[in-house]
Amino acid sequence: MFTELLLALLIGGLIFFLVKRSRNQVLQTEDGWWGIGAPPDGEEDVTIHPFNVTTSDEELEDLYRRIDQTRPVPSLEDSQFNYGFNSQYLEKVVSYWRNDFNWRRQVDKLNQYPQFKTKIEGIDVHYLHVKPEKQHEGTATIPLIMVHGWPGSFYEFYGLIPLLTQPSDPNDLVFEVVCPSIPGYGFSEAPHKKGFDSICAARIFHKLMKRLGFQQFYAHGGDWGWLITTNMAQLDPKSVKGLHLNFAPPSKHSLSMFLSIVLGRYFPKLFGFTHMDVQQLYPCMEKLAVEPLKESGYLHIQATKPDTVGRGLNDSPVGLAAYILEKFSTWTHRDFRNLEDGGLTRKFSLDDLLTNVMIYWTSGCIIPSMRFYKENFSKDLNQQHHNIPVYVPTGFACFPNEVSYTPKLWVKQKYWQLESFTPMTRGGHFAAMEEPQLMAEDIQKFTKTVEKK
């Protein structure tokens, strides 16, 4: 009896030690300098400057001239979007862009929310800061940073922001939202030196939130925003009260993940797989191997030689639109590849899609946005943050048409305090832009859960 008790105490102590040690693991980082030349001798200017998106006759004339000089190329017969963006439909999009799209009106829409720039580690960081117009007396707002990905922008959140800052239900929480542009994206200055990866972006966004006066806050992300906000939780878990994601591909493969892939189809309950999990994951070879290959060609280019293809996209607005909008087709639903129009306007308006393209075009950010892949993939794929669990409260919104489907079992391997896992009824990769109502509801549900604790 004594031996068994001693053994139990030893095992319990070992488990407690391992858990405590893992909980003490934080991501290590050092300040960087991404401006031109060497950092200044004195302290960095921390002034926050108001910012507005602007345009000019010269900018529009240059755009129209380049559009008019594009050289159309016919698509193959019956190819739809299976060879990329269908050329016949591209002509319709370009015609709308050239003749009907009103960029000045969209600039006014972009400026409806307060925007700012502030210099952090040598580069100007652009962000929205949206406070509630009115709120009930005695209620505090919940600070929330939302981070976009590629080929999106801060504009992805424009439909979501009012649902969080001005909720219609008086029982809902009221958020104060910060939406930064990743350095090298949109109106944030691009790093001038090599090595700017997701950890650097996470460190800069921590500094941004502290500069705005937030010692604790929630974070939300999809696409690159998933990794950046995850790194934020790993860097300073005491500052991130809760982490909400809608994208979380496995960062490393484990034995339990391998077994779930092999046996999950036949013994789904053993791995906690739902009917939705089985539908999404199998047939295994097609869903987990072939499908990602069909959609990852861009990744290999951007992770190796982004500047080469990027130079062509930076010169051609039509090429840029085709490159970006193809993702808004196939990443929204893979079956859209089989449609002549790519299903683009089934979930989005051309005005919204072209506004996102124009953010890339007018800021000239396509090359630095693509470099972010090289900076993250050029390093050791087993770098530190892949091995550190996230132990801040986490919520995951699982959209069925996401490019990379992640069942609850796999999410929990990385995010140890998974407070909520919500299987969504519809939606794909650009969920915040495609289904803002569903996203707002899940952010509300998750945050209420954490706040009650």
Q: What is the pLDDT of residue 4?
A: 46
What are the tens digits of pLDDT across the range 171-181? Answer: 999 999 999 99
What are the residues facing 82 on neighbouring strands? Answer: 84
Q: What is the mean pLDDT of residues 131-150?
A: 88
Which residues on adjacent β-strands are paired with residue 221?
147, 245
- The answer to whether residues 51 and 117 touch, using CB atoms and an 8 Å cutoff, is yes
Q: What pLDDT score does 397 carry?
A: 98
Tokens of 379: 């390093």
The rounded distance, in Å, linking the Cα atoms of 212 and 142 is 14
pLDDT > 70 fraction of the chain, expressed in percent and rounded? 91
Q: Are 217 and 182 in contact (CB under 8 A)?
A: no
Q: Which two tokens stand for residue 367?
A: 């090359």
* Mean pLDDT for the chain overall: 91
Q: Write out pLDDT tens, residues 51-77.
A: 999 999 999 999 999 999 999 999 999
Ranges of H-type helices in 264-365: 275-281, 284-285, 291-295, 297-302, 306-315, 317-330, 344-347, 350-363
Q: How far apart are CA 214 and CA 217, in angstroms?
A: 6
Sign of the alpha-carbon torsion through 174, 180, 181, 186: positive
- Chain position carrying tokens 């040690």: 21
**Residues 337-358 pLDDT 10s:** 999 999 999 999 999 999 999 9
Spatial distance between the Cα atoms of 89 and 79, rounded to a whole number of angstroms: 12
For residue 115, the 8-state DSSP code is: E
Q: Please check whether residue 371 is in contact with residue 235, taking contact to mean a CB–CB distance below 8 angstroms.
A: no
Hey, what are 195's tokens?
């090595």
Buried b / exposed e over 221-245, threshold 16 CB at 10 Å, is bbbbbbbbbbbbbbbbbebbbbbbb
The pLDDT score that the predictor gives to residue 6 is 43
Which homologous superfamily is 49-452 in?
Alpha/Beta hydrolase fold, catalytic domain (3.40.50.1820)
The sheet carrying 48-51 orders its strands as 48-51, 115-120, 123-130, 175-180, 142-147, 217-221, 240-245, 394-398, 418-423
Catalytic residues: 223, 373, 429
* Lowest mean pLDDT, pick from 5-19, 216-230, 237-251, 378-392: 5-19
* pLDDT at 16 (0 to 100): 43
pLDDT at residue number 102: 98
Q: Name the pLDDT band for 137 (thresholds 50, 70, 90).
A: low
Q: What are phi and psi of 433, to 5 degrees?
A: -85, -35
Decide if pLDDT at 13 tops 60: no
Question: Please, are residues 349 and 93 in contact by the beta-carbon 8 Å criterion?
Answer: no
Q: How many CA atoms lie within 13 A of 87 on its CB side?
A: 11
The answer to whether 317 and 324 are in contact (CB under 8 A) is no
Parallel, antiparallel or unpaired: strands 123-130 and 175-180: antiparallel
CA angle (390, 396, 399) in 5-degree steps: 145
Q: Which of 134, 128, 127 is nearest to 166 (CA)?
A: 134
Of 153, 162, 155, nearest to 130 by C-alpha is 162
With 50 as the cut, is the pLDDT of residue 7 above it? no
Tens of pLDDT, residue by residue over 234-266, are: 999 999 999 999 999 987 667 777 778 777 777
Residues 6+ apart with CB under 8 A from 158: 109, 113, 433
* Confidence category of residue 24, pLDDT binned at 50, 70, 90: low
Rounded mean pLDDT of 198-217? 98
Domain residues of the chain, as ranges? 49-452
**What is the Cα–Cα distance from 34 to 204, expressed in whole angstroms?**
11
Give the tokens for residue 292. 């990602």
